[in-house]
Amino acid sequence: MAASNSRIDPVTFEVLNHRLLSITEEMGIQYMRCSGSNVLITGNDAATAIMQPDGALVSVGPYIVTQGNVLPLIVDSTKRLSADVGINDGDIFICNDPYLGAIHHPDFATVAPIYWKDELIGWIGASGHQLDTGGMDPGGFSIKVVDVHQEGLRMPPVKLVDRGTMREDVLRWIMNQVRDPLVGLDVKGQVAALNTGRRRIIELIESWGVETVKAVMAQSIDHAREKLRKRLSELPDGVWRDVQYIDHDGHETKIYQIVCTMTKKGEALTFDFEGTSPNARGLINSTYSGLQAAVLSAVYINLCWDIPWNRGVRDCIELVTKAGTVNNCAYPAPCAMATISAVIVTIDASWRCLSQMLMADERYREQSMAVWSGTSMAPIFAGTSQHGFPFAATEMSHFGGGGGARTYDDGVDTAGIVFNTTPNMPNIEDQESEYPVLYLFRRHLRDSGGPGRYRGGRSAELAYTVHKAPDNRLDGLFAGTGAEMPNAIGIGGGMPGAAIRIARVIGTDIAARMRDGAPLPDALEGIQGRLEILPPKHTRSSMDLGDVWYHSWQAGGGYGDPLRRDPERVAMDVRRKAVSAVAAADIYGVVLDGEGSCDEKATEVRRAELRQARLKQAVAPDVGDVVMSFAGSGRRSIAETLAIDFDKGTVRCGDCGHVHCRPQDNLLKHLREVKAALRTAGPVRGEDYDVGRFHLRQLCCSNCGSLVDVQVALDGAPRPYFRIDDWPAAAAAE
C-alpha cells in the first residue's frame, strides 16, 4: 500500500502507530523472557524503542522510560563513532558510556539499523540494567570512586553483532570484566529483542509498504508535537521554581542542590537549571543524557498521558544547563549512581514545577500529582549462591514506591517507581529460592505516606538475613539518596512522604530462633541485637550469619492541608495501620475514641488548636528576591488554596476567604511562615540522619493558618516559588 503525498489517513495512522507501539512492547517481552537477570525479571528495569534514521524517537516501550529516552543519543554516538567499521544490515552495536548517551554504566544499551532494500529506514534499541559491570564493588555501584574510570566496564559503541553473526570476541571481553555470568545471558536477551523488532518492522513494511511506514513514523512525531503545543497553549504562562537535594556523595555528607526553574510561554516549555550544584567527587552525578531523560520523563507523565512519547515532545522543550553541574557533569566525573541520584531528583524538581502549573488550570487540575517516591536505591548483596554460582543481586523491592497524592484522592500505596511505567517488584519466595537469603518481613511502612487532605501512597520496609550461603556470609553494600531529607514533596499544602532508612542489626538471636523453631521477628523493633543506622551510601561490608539487614524507602507526597482530611478516612487509616494514632492526633488533628472511631467534637477542638499553634509560631517570610504574583482576567484559582478575582482585585484564602493581597502584589509578603522539624510530617523523615540542616517551610494563611504550600528547606538554598503571568481566556471560571 503506497502512501500519497498527503498525510496518512487517520485510521491507517492509528493502526500502524499502535502497531509500532506493540512492537516495542513485544521487544521488551522477548528481552525479559530471555534474560535471567533478577533486575529485569523482578523490576522490569529495561527499555525498548523505535527510531527514525536520524535517531529521532518514534515509539518507546512501556518500561523504564528514562532508559528509553536516551536510546536516540546512543544512535547518534553510534553513527558518529562507527564509520570506520561500517553500519550494515544485521549489525548490532552495544554501548554503556554515560558520556556517549547511556544514563549510567549498568545500563547496557544495544541499537540496530533497519534496512529495506539497502535504504536505512530506522533504528531499534534495547537497554537494560545489568547485575554487574566490574569495577571496585559488585553490582555496578562503587561507593568510593573519584572518577568514571573506576566504575567498571565503559563501552563506546562497539559492534556486537556483525551482519547477523555474534562477535564472540566482544562478548568474551564483556564477560571477562564482570562478576555475574548472567550478564552474558542478558546481553543475548537484548540481541533476541532486536532481532524480534527487526523482523516485525520488516513484516510491517511488507504488508503496508515502506513509504507508508516511514510516513507513519514521521506523522507520529508531528502528531505529538502538535498536540503538546495545543495543550501548552491552554495552560497558564508563568514561571515555577523548585529545589531538590541529594545527600551524601559517597565520600562525605555534603548536600547538593538541583534547582529547576520552569518557564511556560505560549506553546513552549523551558527548564533552566541555573543554581544547581557543581558536580560531585563521588558517583551521584549524571551526564546531560540523564538530565534530558529526567525532564522528558516528568513531561511525559504529567502532560502527555494521551500523546505519543517521542521526538515531538522533545521539540516543545528547551533545556538550559551548564556543564560541570551535578545533573550535567563534566568528564571524568563518576556517575554510576546517576539514575538513583541526580536523574530521579531532577525528575522530582521538574515534576513539582509541572504539577504546580497543572493545579492552576481547572481543566487539567485532576492530572496534578504530588511527587511520587522521591528516590530509588540500590541495596546490593553478593557472593556465592546456595546453587554454587557467583552472583551480584540488587534487591528490587524499592520499586514499590509510594504514589503521589492526587488532587481528588489518595496516592496509591507501593504504586511503583515513577519512571517505570510497568512497575514490578520481586516475589519473596523467588528471591529466597534464587539467593542465599531469608526475608524476615516485607510490609507497608506506617505513617510513610505524605500527610494531606489526600494522603500520599505508602512505601514499605523489609529485613533479610544470610541463609544457606556456602561460606555463611555475603557481601553487602548500599547506594541510596534521600535519608537526611525526603524528596517526595507534597503540593497544595500537602506534606512530604517518608525518607529512606538503612540499618543492620548484629549479634542477633536469629540463628538460635531458627534452630529452635521459634517465631521470627516481624518488625525491626523486635530484632534483638545491636542496631546500627547505616549511611545512605556505604561501602562493601560483610553480611555474616545471623546479621539482619534492613531498609525502607521513600513514599508519596500529600495533597492539601492534613487538617482538611475527612476525619473518618483518618480513622480508617488508623484501623488499617496506615497511620498511627499519634500521627492522627498530631498531624491530622483527629481524636479517636476507645473503639477507634472519630470523636467529632474533640477533633474540631484539636484542629482549632493546631491551627492556632501554627499562627503562634508563624513569622513573616524572608522574601528575598522571590516574587509570587498573578496576572490575568476573570476568576481563577490555585487548586483549593488560593482564589484570585481579577475583577475585584483580590487574592483570597481558599479555606476561610481572607483577602491576602491584590493579584499584582507579592503574595509571599502576605502569607505567614512556620519553620518546623521534618518529623512534623511524621516519623522516618530523616531523624536518624538529622544534623540540623533541613526543616519544613510551611506557608499558611495569616488569618486561619491553613497551609498553602509545604517545602523541604535548606538554609541558604534558593526558595521554590511560582509566578503566573497570564491565563488563557478560555480557562476563566464561569
3-state per-residue secondary structure call for 96-153:
CCHHHCCCCCCEEEEEEEEEECCEEEEEEEEEEECCCCCCCCHHHCCCCCCCHHHCCC
In a domain, 329, yes or no: no
pLDDT at 388 over 50: yes
Q: In 10 A of CB 563, how many CB atoms?
A: 25
Whether residues 400 and 547 share a domain: the answer is yes
In a domain, 523, yes or no: yes
Q: Burial of 306 by CB count in 10 Å (0-12 exposed, 13-18 middle, 19+ buried)?
A: exposed
Whether residues 68 and 186 share a domain: the answer is yes
Looking at residue 177, its amino acid is Q
Whether residues 633 and 611 share a domain: the answer is no
108 beta partners: 128
* Of 459, 108, 149, 126, nearest in space to 283 by CA: 149
Residue 627 pLDDT level (bands cut at 50, 70, 90) = very high
Q: Check residue 5 and give its pLDDT.
A: 45
Distance CA 290, CA 142 (A): 19
DSSP string, 306-332: TS--SHHHHTTEEEE--TTBTTBPPTT
* Of 134, 104, 540, nearest in space to 337 by CA: 104
Task: Average the pLDDT over 470-485 and give the result.
Answer: 95
DSSP string, 43-69: H--EEEEEE-TT--EEEE-SSBHHHHH
Q: Check residue 6 and give its pLDDT.
A: 59
Structural domain of residue 695, as residue ranges?
Answer: 625-731
Q: Check residue 506 and give its pLDDT.
A: 96
Distance CA 569, CA 34 (A): 45
Highest mean pLDDT among 37-51, 411-425, 544-558: 544-558
Looking at residue 271, its amino acid is F
Distance CA 451, CA 188 (A): 46
pLDDT in tens, 492-529: 999 999 999 999 999 999 989 998 999 999 999 999 99
Task: Average the pLDDT over 597-611 and give the result.
Answer: 97
Q: Pairing between strand 46-51 and 107-116? A: unpaired
Distance CA 352, CA 418 (A): 13
Residue 41 pLDDT level (bands cut at 50, 70, 90) = confident
Q: Pairing between strand 317-320 and 268-272? A: parallel
In a domain, 361, yes or no: no
The pTM (predicted TM-score) of the whole model is 0.97
Distance CA 271, CA 10 (A): 33
Task: Average the pLDDT over 686-695 and give the result.
Answer: 97
In a domain, 344, yes or no: no
> How do the residues of the chain divide into helix, strand and coil, expressed in percent and rounded to 5?
30, 25, 45
pLDDT at 530 over 80: yes
Single out the residue in 526, 543, 559 at which a domain terminates. 559
pLDDT in tens, 184-227: 999 999 999 999 999 999 999 999 999 999 999 999 999 999 99
Q: Which residues contact 358 (CB under 8 A, 6 or more apart)?
A: 235, 302, 364, 365, 367, 368
Q: Which residue has the cell 527514525?
A: 52
φ/ψ bin of 560: left (φ > 0), alpha (ψ from -120 to 50), beta (otherwise): left
* 1 vs 668: which has the higher pLDDT: 668
Whether residues 106 and 87 share a domain: the answer is yes
Percent of the chain, pLDDT > 70? 99
In a domain, 46, yes or no: yes
**Whole-number mean pLDDT of the chain?**
96
pLDDT at 731 over 80: no
Residue 112, CA distances (Å) to 48, 78, 161, 198 in order: 12, 10, 9, 8
Whether residues 142 and 54 share a domain: the answer is yes
Helix pair 168-177, 182-208: axis angle to 10 deg: 140
Residue 71 pLDDT level (bands cut at 50, 70, 90) = very high
Distance CA 59, CA 289 (A): 18
Q: How many residues does the chain have?
A: 734
Whether residues 405 and 522 share a domain: the answer is yes
In a domain, 245, yes or no: no
pLDDT at 403 over 80: yes
Q: Which residue has the cell 516549555?
A: 269
pLDDT at 733 over 60: no
Give helix then strand counts, H and E, for the chain. Answer: 14, 28
Whether residues 573 and 551 share a domain: the answer is no
Residue 625 pLDDT level (bands cut at 50, 70, 90) = confident
pLDDT at 677 over 90: yes
pLDDT in tens, 132-149: 999 889 999 999 999 999
- Over the range 634-659, which residues count as b (16 or more CB within 10 Å of their CB) and which as e? eebbbbbbbbbbbeeebbbbbbeebe
Whether residues 76 and 176 share a domain: the answer is yes
Task: Average the pLDDT over 425-446 and give the result.
Answer: 96
Distance CA 438, CA 433 (A): 9
Task: Average the pLDDT over 304-323 and give the result.
Answer: 98
CB 550 within 8 A of CB 505: yes
51 beta partners: 57, 123
Q: Which residues contact 697 (CB under 8 A, 6 or more apart)?
A: 673, 674, 675, 710, 711, 712, 713, 719
pLDDT at 3 over 70: no
- Cα dihedral value 277, 278, 281, 285, nearest 10: 70
Task: Average the pLDDT over 47-66 and give the result.
Answer: 97
What's the structural domain count of the chain?
Answer: 4
In a domain, 257, yes or no: no
Single out the residue in 559, 577, 597 at which a domain terminates. 559
In a domain, 111, yes or no: yes
Task: Average the pLDDT over 430-442 and give the result.
Answer: 96
Distance CA 280, CA 16 (A): 45
Whether residues 696 and 713 share a domain: the answer is yes
Whether residues 645 and 601 share a domain: the answer is no
* Of 654, 449, 708, nearest in space to 570 by CA: 449
Single out the residue in 574, 596, 617 at which a domain terminates. 617
Helix pair 182-208, 10-34: axis angle to 10 deg: 160
Whether residues 76 and 185 share a domain: the answer is yes
* Of 193, 33, 56, 216, nearest in space to 112 by CA: 193
Whether residues 555 and 571 share a domain: the answer is no
**Grid coordinates of 713:** 528547606
